[in-house]
Every structure is written in C-alpha cells, then in structure tokens.
Structure 1
C-alpha cells in the first residue's frame, strides 16, 4: 500500500518545477503590487503550498486507467451513504472487540487506513488557510469541503470527460473525512504559528524605500510591455504608417510615459516608474533613454532582420558586423551590471534616468528611491 502512495508523490515532485515556472510570474506580479517587494518567508510558504496541492491532486487521481475507454465501475460510480466506512472497517477488520491485543490490526486494514489517509491529505490545507491566508473557521471548513468536492467530481467525471467513465467512486465519506482533515489542520495551525514567523508581521520592519528596483522586476515589466507594445505596432502596420516599429516604440515608450509620469502598463503592473534622477521624467530624457535603446540599439537589429533589398551586399555585411559587436558588447555590459551594486545601464546613465518603486502610504502614493 505504501508503494501506491509513493508513486503519485514521485510524479508530483517531478512536475513541481514546471508548475512552479508557471506560478512564478503571477506570484511575482501579485507580490510586487501588494507588498512592494518579495518576502522569502512568504515565497517559501506559497511554493510549499503549491507542492502540497500537486501531491494531493496526484494522490487522488493516480493511477489512471489503462485506456480512455475504461469500463463503468461494477459497484456504481457513487456512494452516498454517510459513515459507510464504518461498515467497511467492521466487515474487513480482524479486530475482536473483547481482545485489545487485536486493535493494532487496524493499522494494517485497508478500510481504516483509507479513512486516515482522507483525513491527513487535507490537514496541510487547513493549516495554510489559517496560518498564511488568515481565514476564519467557517471559510476554512467551506474551502476544505470545496477542495474535496473538486477531487471527487474530477474522479466522477473521468477527469472531466478525458475517460469514458468514472474510474473511482464518488464517496460522500471522502467529503466528510477531507473536510474533517481541513478542520484538524485549522486547529493545528495555532501550534504552527508559534514555530514560524507571524504572517501579519512579516512587513512590520520592512522599509520599501530600501528596496532597489531589481532586474527581475524590470524584466517582468518589460515582458508585460512586450505583449502590449507589438499590438500597437501591428495597428500601425495595418494603417500603413511608415516606419511602424519606430512610431510604435515612440508612442509606447516615450509619449505614454511622458503623459503618465514615467509609467508604462508593465511598470504600473509591478509598481515602478521612471524619473529623471528622482524628479519628474521629461520628454527630453525619455528621447535620450528610449531613443538610444529602441531606435538605435533595437532599431539596428530590426533593420538587419527586415528587408534590406535596397542596400548593397557590402552594406548588409557592414551592418551585420556592427550589430554583432553591438549585441556582444550589450550582453557583456548587462552581465557585468547584474553583479554590480549600481544597476544603471548605459542608456540610463546617458539620459540620467532611473526607475523607482511606487508605494502607498496612508496619506498618499509616494516615490521611494531604491538603495
């Protein structure tokens, strides 16, 4: 029976890196917007919670049927009699009521162990609900029930139609035991809170003004902008606007930040903005910053990747050499600055611009310079 549990757990651990990769971007965006920085304790708890959910899910759905066209369950797909597990235990157990020495046999009985498993599988869920999410007991019970209901419906529907028939029984006793496990976890969370940092106090001694704008944060903003900005460029192209790339980048990265006091949609999402060394960003500074970055650096790459039919072969060769050395230099420049305390890149120093953290105080939203 132990092997039947180790098998899905091993799959959960193997799939965790991929799930964590998908989880990381929304996690970072939420943390930056809500707290202004990434707290290691908060990150550890949430990634551990993700690992737990994967384990719980795989323990419930694995092993899968050998074929999608699985036969219907002979005993029926639903068991709706509450506490029917007691009859299962009495029927299968070798325990003798008047002989206490046989009571340990329960630890080897499938029906009894199944009940214990159904309780234990949601204990961590109830603990995290109370410790991290600070839910009350009513919502914790409700969420534990809904998690169990999700598991049961997944099995009943053959993973929502992936299989022809249910491959495990929808058991009302599983709903009861899973919900009980969530309650036990909720009660145990009080003990857990005494061993770990209090979630509500994680940010008490943190001054967001000491947090510099990291390259990770900047990369997320750039990633978001890289999804929106091409839409504007495509619109310019459809409208037959000449030099669509340069026009779109000028509107998106120069005019929009000028009107919004240094914000693009990506920067707004992760709560950072551009300033001219702490002062309001100017149109001239934006021209220097993004003109150099997008119109010159990325612009030359764009020319090389585009149509150059009107340029002689020697011209294309020369442009290719220039772009190669330019890209190599930029890569080295970026790597060096990744390990330096001063994160300002060449176009930032040239334009005397920098990115600062946006944060809300009780009275107003203020700019806080990175350390």
Structure 2
C-alpha cells in the first residue's frame, strides 16, 4: 500500500528540477515586479509549494492506464456518494475488534485506514500555505481546499478530462471530505508554524531597494524581454528587404537610446523587472546612453553582425582574415570579461564603466 504512494512521489521529485527551471523566470519576474527584489525565504516557500503541487498531481494521476482506450472500472458506477463509507471499509477489511485492544495496532497497516490518512495528509500543506503565506481566512481555506479536492476528483472521474475512454478511478465523496479536512488541519497547524517562522507580511520591512544590487540574472531577463519584442520587428523589416545593418542600427538608436532618454533609463524589459539605467545624475543623459549602448550594441554587436552579412561576401581575403582574427579576439575578451564581472561584485561591465552609468532598482 505504501509502495503505491512512493511510486508517484519519486516521479514528482525526479520531475522537480525540470518544473523548477520552467517556473524560475516567471517567478523572478513576479517577485521583481511586486516586491522589487527576491527574498530567499519567500523563494523557498514558493519552490516548496511547487514541489508539493507536483507530488499532489502525481499522487492523483499515477499510475496511468497502459492505453487511452482503457476498460471501464469494475464497479457498476463511477461515483461513490455515501458519506463516511470509509468506516464501512475499515470495519469490513480490518481484523480489529473493539473488545480486543491488542488488535488496534493493525489499523496502522490496513489499506482502508492508510487511504484515509493519506487523503488527509495530501492537503495539509495546502492549508498551511493558504494561512501562512496568503494569510487566508478559515472560510477561504475551507472553500479552496474543497475546490482543490473537487478538481482532483473531477480529473479522475473524467479520465483526465477525456484523454482516456473511461475513468480509471472513482469519484468518492469521502475523498472530498478527507481532503477538505486535511486543508483545515493544515490551517490549524499553520498558527503553530507561524510562531516559529518569519512573518511573510514583514519580510520587506526595513528593506531599502536603492541599496539592492541589480543581479546579472535580472539584467538578462530584462534584455530577454526587450529582444523578444524587437526580434519580430527586425524580422518584419527584414522581409521588406531593408538592409539588416541599417535596421539593427535604427532599432538600437530608437529603442535603447531615444526611449530610455524619454523614460529616464527604462525599456520595456527594464520596466517589467523594475530597474533603470542611471547616470552620474538622477536623470540619465543622452550622452551617457549613446556611449553605453553604442559600445554594447553598435560597436560590439555591429562588428559581429557585419562579419556574416557583409565581410564574408564583400571583403577581400587580405581584409577578411585580419577582421576574423580581430573579431575572435574581441569576442574572447568579451566572454572572459563577462565571466569576471559575474564572479566579482566589484567589477563593472565595460559599457557601464566607460559610460559612467549603472542599473538601479526603480
């Protein structure tokens, strides 16, 4: 019986790294946008929630039938509507006698008892999270725990919403009751846990965002958002047979110089993760932006872009070979420089240092 639960749990833990990798970028964006930074304790709680949800989903769904064209269940009905029917199962399946206390320990290993216990345990973390992290009222916890259990049962009785020809588990009203009870047990336990843990609503007390360092992860997310917006524009302009280098230069000038000058150092990506470029003064100057993004995109980016588009086709070997060697040397230097910046908090990226700019939390 216990082995049937360990099987889906093991799959949940094996799947967790993949789910965590997918979850990380949206998680960081939300944390940056809502709180201005990522608190380690808040991150730990949310990743534990992700691990719990994976376990819950796999416990509900696994093991799956061998084919989507599965046979109907042996029972005559797909539903069990009798409340507390699990008591009948316990009496029928166990060898416990009320007048023989020596038989009571058998309850701990009986299938009917373990199934009820695991149904309660399944939603205890959910109730803990609702009260501790979301600070939900008990009524809200009751309704959400019931709703989660109803989702579990509906998923099962519909064959995962029609993927399978027939349900491979029954809709059991006792599961609704025990899952909901588990959520409320978690709600009660959360009061004790909260006395041992930091209060979620006070994690940001006393935090000065102006002193927070902008991580390279945050910079990369902002740049990724910016270029996700710009690449379709580049593709459309390229389809119009406009020179790619001119298109690239025009986009860099408008998006990374003109717009940040008008918005005091913000692009769309920087706005999403709540950072901006700041110069020597409170407001970044046009000269600072030209130097910063001219070095980063027009110079370093432009030289790399010119090689496959123009140099390979139009330059003579006498010019192309030194160009390729110089380009390779520059890219190696940029790579080493980038690694050193990531490894050292004191070292500034070249375009930050030479332009006199830096990125700050806004």
- Tell me which residue corresponds to 2:353: 349
How far the C-alpha of 1:93 sits from its partner, in A, is 2.1
Q: By how many angstroms is 1:240 displaced?
A: 4.2
Return the alpha-carbon distance in structure 2 between the equivalents of residues 305 and 51 of structure 1. Answer: 45
Comparing 16-25 with 56-65, greater Cα deviation is found at 56-65
2:326 counterpart of 1:325: no
Equivalents in 2 of 1:262, 1:105: separation in Å?
69
Aligned to 2:101: 100
SS of 1:63 mapped into structure 2: coil
Q: What do residues 284-340 of structure 1 show as CA deviations (whole Å, max 9, x unaligned)?
A: 221111111111111111122335422223433332212211110001111111222
CA–CA separation in structure 2 for the residues paired with 1:97 and 1:275: 76
Counterpart in the other structure of 2:52? 52
- CA distance in 1 between counterparts of 2:174 and 2:219 reads 50
Give the corresponding residue for 2:270: 267
Unpaired segments ≥5 residues, structure 1: 359-371
Q: Deviation of residue 209 (structure 1)? A: 2.1
The structural deviation recorded for 1:39 is 0.8
What's 2:149 paired with? 148
More deviation, 166-175/181-190 = 166-175
Structure 2 match to 1:221: 222
Query: In the TM superposition, what is the alpha-carbon distance from 1:166 to its structure 2 partner?
Result: 1.1
1:133-282 to 2 correspondence within 5 Å?
133-242=134-243, 243-282=246-285
CA distance in 1, matches of 2:281, 2:219: 17
Q: CA deviation at 1:277?
A: 2.2
Taking the aligned partners of 1:295 and 1:96, their CA distance within structure 2 comes to 84
Give the gaps of 5 or more residues in structure 2. Answer: none
Deviation at residue 230 of structure 1 after TM alignment: 0.9
TM norm structure 1: 0.92
The SS at the match of 1:299 is helix
Moved more, 21-30 or 198-207: 198-207
Describe how 1:72-83 pairs up with structure 2 within 5 A.
Answer: 72-75=72-75, 76-83=77-84
Checking the alignment, whether the CA contact within 8 Å between 2:340 and 2:347 is kept in structure 1 is no
In the alignment, which residue of structure 1 is the partner of 2:116? 115
Match of 1:305 in 2: 308
Greater fraction of residues in helix? 2
Matches of 1:174 and 1:192 in 2, distance apart? 26
Deviates more, 1:24-33 or 1:96-105: 96-105
Q: Which contiguous aligned blocks of 4+ residues in structure 1 show a shift greater than 4 angstroms?
A: none
Q: CA deviation at 1:239?
A: 4.2
CA apart distance, 1:16: 0.4
Query: Which 10-residue stretch deviates more, 312-321 or 32-41?
Result: 312-321
Distance 2:258 2:154 in 1: 51
Aligned equivalent of 1:363: none
Aligned CA-pair RMSD: 1.6
Paired residues of 1:236 and 1:248 also in contact (CA < 8 A): no
* Secondary structure, aligned partner of 1:122: helix
Name the stretch that deviates more: 195-204 or 327-336.
Answer: 195-204
Structure 1, 273-282 or 54-63: larger mean CA deviation: 273-282
TM-score by length of 2: 0.94
Aligned residues of 1:36 and 1:271 also touching (Cα < 8 A): yes
- Are 1:229 and 1:249, in contact at CA under 8 Å, matched by a contact in 2? no
Partner of 1:361: none
